[in-house]
Each structure stands twice: as C-alpha cells, then as structure tokens.
C-alpha cells in the first residue's frame, strides 16, 4: 500500500485540538484478466474472468471494453470487483480482438489493462 500521510499541527484557526493525520491514496487499483493470455488464438468460446481491486480506496468504476466498445460497467463501491464473461469463438467472431478492463478508485486513481487475442475459424 503506497499512500502519502500529511500531518496537520493543531491550531485554533484549523479547528483542531490535537495532531491529525490525513492519508491520501496515490495508488492505482490492480486489474487482471485470467483465462486467456495476450496474443493467444482461440477457436471455441472461452470463459474468462476480469477483476479489479484496491487496498486503499473503494472502486467507483469497473468497466470492460471489447474492441473499444463498452460491454460491461458497474460502480461497485467496494474494495474489489470480478466479472466472468465468455469470449465468442467461431466464424462470427473470426479475426483480431482487444479486451480492455479499466478500474477507478474513489481517489480518482485509475488503471487499464488490455490484451489482444485472435479468433481463428477453420
């Protein structure tokens, strides 16, 4: 956990009676895609898992994109979020694709992870 801690010395003008510590989250969430690897070629449907987590702040956005189009989004207001999905194989999905996940925490830190895969239709 990486965070900056600021110490505020008490003063009557600040409305503090003691030493206060304020922690500011500067760490982006972690994101992961499991069940497929970058550059992989698939033939059949593939079930995968997409997840995000943050130890410092709750997630306020968890979004998944396929080929630049949003296919899932939620505002989890929790430390983690996971979504399973099926990548289509076969002729209708043949060709190259890019899957991207984006997570944003309450401190406005964000992280994106993308991977490319190809659907081969014999």
| Percent of the chain whose pLDDT exceeds 90 | 75
How far apart CA 14 and CA 9 sit, in angstroms, is: 9
Q: Which of 61, 54, 44 is nearest to 121 (CA)?
A: 44
pTM (2 decimals)?
A: 0.80
Write down the domain spans for the chain. Answer: 28-119
pLDDT in tens, 18-52: 554 556 889 999 999 999 999 999 999 999 999 99
pLDDT (0 to 100) of residue 1:
46
pLDDT (0 to 100) of residue 22:
52
Q: Is pLDDT larger for residue 57 or for residue 3?
A: 57
Q: Strand, helix or coil at 13? A: helix
CATH number attached to the domain at 28-119: 2.60.40.10
């Amino acid at each position: 956990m990486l965070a900056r801690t600021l110490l505020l010395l008490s003063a009557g003008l600040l409305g503090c009676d003691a030493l206060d510590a304020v922690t500011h989250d500067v760490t982006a969430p972690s994101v992961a895609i499991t069940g497929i690897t970058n550059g992989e070629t698939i033939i059949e449907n593939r079930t995968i898992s997409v997840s995000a987590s943050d130890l410092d702040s709750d997630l306020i956005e968890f979004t998944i994109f396929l080929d630049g189009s949003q296919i899932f989004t939620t505002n989890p207001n929790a430390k983690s979020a996971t979504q399973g999905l099926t990548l289509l194989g076969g002729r209708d999905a043949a060709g190259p694709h890019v899957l991207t996940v984006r997570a944003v925490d309450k401190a406005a830190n964000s992280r994106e992870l993308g991977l490319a895969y190809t659907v081969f239709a014999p």
